[in-house]
Amino acid sequence: MDIIHSCSDLIFFPGSSGELFMADGRLKEAQFCIAEASALFPSSYSVMLQRGRLAELRGQLEEAKGWYDEALALHPTGERILVHMILSIISALEDPLSPTPTHSLVQSVLPMVVWMNLS
């Protein structure tokens, strides 16, 4: 039995149900919840992170990178954002059917990882 039926089931933050739907593999429901959260919180780095994760799950790495970049612009020390960027590169490299991440994706992540390690 499904515990969550709609985004409104989580009153505090509709995007939270988007994360749960993504974890359950229900990408259409996740997309709806993330769109709802985006309408409520258009400048939220958390919503941008979720949009990036959704794009990543759909195999759209360049779009995911764009959302992660926007989230980092709002929250430059966002370790969760960097972790998802790095994991998307690793998963693309490990999956022989996935297109290899572009040079620009790798170039944008490496300086941030070095910066995070030095600070």
pLDDT in tens, 25-44: 999 999 999 998 899 888 99
| Whole-number pLDDT of residue 77 | 84
Regions in the chain scoring below 70 on pLDDT: 1-15, 92-119
Given the structure tokens 């959260």, which residue do they identify?
37
Distance from C-alpha of 6 to C-alpha of 67, rounded to nearest angstrom:
24
Distance from C-alpha of 109 to C-alpha of 21, rounded to nearest angstrom:
27
Q: Nearest 5 degrees, angle CA 84-CA 112-CA 83? A: 15
Distance from C-alpha of 17 to C-alpha of 54, rounded to nearest angstrom:
13
Q: Cα-flanking dihedrals φ and ψ of residue 22, to 5°? A: -65, -40
pLDDT in tens, 60-69: 888 988 898 8
| Whole-number pLDDT of residue 50 | 93
